[in-house]
Structure 1
Amino acid sequence: MEAFFNAVLTDIVSRSVSFFMDKYYMFTTPSVEGNSVNDLQQLLLRIRVIVEEAEGRLITNQAMVHQLNILRKEMYRGYFTIDCLRCQCTATTNNHDVSYSFALSKFNPAKRLFLPGDGDACGKKDIQQVLDNLNKIMIHMSEFVTFLSNCPPLCRQPYHMHLFIDKCMFGRQMEMDRIMGFLMQRDHPSTNHVDVLPIVGPTCVGKSTLVAHVCNDARVRSYFSQIVVLDGDDIGDENIATLKERAVFMHQSHKTMSKDQRLLVIIEFRTDVDEVAWNSLYLSFSRCLIRGSKIIITGRSNKIRKLGTTHALALNFLPPDAFWYFFKVLVFGNVDSGDHPKLESIAMEMAGGLNGSFILANMGSCFLRNSMVTRFWSMCLAAHKGNYKKEYIFVW
């Protein structure tokens, strides 16, 4: 009998210990979502190192450029997915009294990444999908890293991405490489025409900004003696001499001018294209420009596509995940946005209303960086939405 009671007591104690240990691990052990997020964070950190290193090197292999672009897009998507989940959890915390489990970040033990206690099926699915895609890409990245080490560096990379974005055209690396390849390509000795690259895209997508960044490259300025910008709307009744008087010179070599110096002509069409006037102007250019000179034409109309001697370059607005990465770096600089979940949530909502505009992103980030205070950022968001109260100062 005594043995029976000992067995029952031992079983009760064992069950009690198991019950309390299960409860303890429920609050201390990262959930499945938390493990996935931590895995994704670690993988994104590795990928970010590769991407930033690759962006600081001269890559001439187009297959490597394409592979880098795929990796970059998936990196943006990964950060966007994590930030979206964190912002949703922040909004839930502010509006509803619900229980939360948490997983300690392996990068910073003091930082906690909050996840809904009941689990978000959509969030888990998105995280797992991004994680799977990145793992598949990373399987084939060893060769890329090996070849990357043989690519010469462009310049010394700044300490932080915030400084790097100020000196480059964010999200347009493939496009810049395409334009650079067009400009640096040597003409065949038998060539008797001038190469033309059309760049097509909607208003405010960044056509002129992209061309300006390329023209500021030291390689372009050393290759071309002059870089001239013309207004495409003026080509109708004007000859080359008259157009040159109205031209804007982006660059002019200080060396002694000679007849054998190459010229880069940039023509911006703000309205539709007069094909008859263009054909006449192009014939004049072909006669007077020396071999190696190039022409870039930009505009909104698809008609300029057929004016080129090579395939047109089409520009579109950045996808939401890439634009959010750009805006977040501008706003937070070298501060980890995860340490300020409320500010991050406000910034993400604001980024969604900027319609992919680089100009608005730069203007907005200047205001927000001045004060890392939730109330100030809320006022900026309200002003941006147009529903700010009378006592709020219009700051946007």
Structure 2
Amino acid sequence: MPSGTAEPSHVLAIPAFRRLFAAQVVALVGTGLLTVALALLAYDLAGDAAGAVLGTALAIKMIAYVTVAPVASALVDRLPTKGVLIAADAVRAGAALMLPFVDQVWQIYVLIFVLQAASATFTPAFQAVIPSIVPSEYQYTRALTLSRLAYDLESLLSPLLAAALLTVVSFHSLFVGTAVGFVISAAMVMRTVLPTHIAPERADTFASRATKGVHAFFANPVLRGLLALNVVVASATALVVVNTVIYVRDLFGGSNSAVAIALGIYGAGSMAVALCIPRVLLAISDRRVMLLGAFVSVVGTASAAVVSITGGVWGWLALGTVWFVLGAGTSMISTPSARILRRESTDLNRKSIYTAQFSLSHAAFLITYPVAGWVGAHASQFTAAVTLAVLATLAALSAAHMWSRPHVAAHFASDEVTNASAETRAAHQPRPRGGT
């Protein structure tokens, strides 16, 4: 931001961010409709085997995220970010429009891979450009809060929107809604003025460009600590995503509505933290907040084991409490994590750093999803929760150890000075009336 220019009082007052955030929201709505429509399409084609189809589709999604993201990032490294984002949205819209016409299960798998490969190209590029258009640390934290809220609200509202639409149209029409969301997203990106693309100075090989971000993660102790915290988030999230339906329906004899309520409570915990994060990070360093989030997530995951053997009214109260705690704990890690990525990257390597985070964080789910599902199914929910709690504990201890080294502690100490300076600046700026 040019010297002498007053900083906007709210991050949404920045035109470029406002348009990109709108693009993110409409794309998320489209993705939410896709989730519902895909479940109904799988049941239409596979009947009782729909669960297996959806499980395979979820695995394909994660594999695309892990494998395609670094390759795609290397392929488009020298291309303008705006063109990459628009092209990825176009591919996603095209794949969504083809889904209503499939009549074989394998066709679902192919189209889902194409769509998620495009998402693996879009999302890291989108996340990496935000720091360039929101230069203030305080405003960037608010941008992260809005992004977190968008994800949580999408998980709550998209199923309701889908249910309303299904009263007047067939589920095939939901795919059209998905495509429309991606088209609107592309249009919003097209209208956004983005910073000039900075191409790499050296003629790196394709292999080095594809692995640059991963190498940076393992060479940097701060990013290695973040990598360990990704495992904590994946452990807690997998427990909720995979096994909520088992806790509610099988262990407590609840209804489908109760499943939705339980997932909503988890989202409420995440949103509650996201709303508080901007002001909390003015006084407390990212390191302390994220390690506290790891502790909360570990306690919540371990407590889920107790919930699995608790019945009656107390069981329901315990489930709601633990799910809220898990949502809060994972949000305490996930929301500030992009601040770490921003601080540990430069304009030249930022896209590769964000891509590596996207890929490696989803790689953790390739471990925790099967643990949550298979251990829960073949042993017990108690065993699955304990196993995930042990995994989360080891990861949290690893992160705390890596971030306790002298040079890393000094790094975070300088961040606390930065946060204090941000607090001083923010105290002299007008506060928006509408909250975060």
TM-score over 0.5 (shorter chain): no
Under a length normalisation based on structure 2, what TM-score does the superposition of the two structures give? 0.22
Under a length normalisation based on structure 1, what TM-score does the superposition of the two structures give? 0.24
Which structure has the larger Rg? 1
Larger proportion of helix: 2
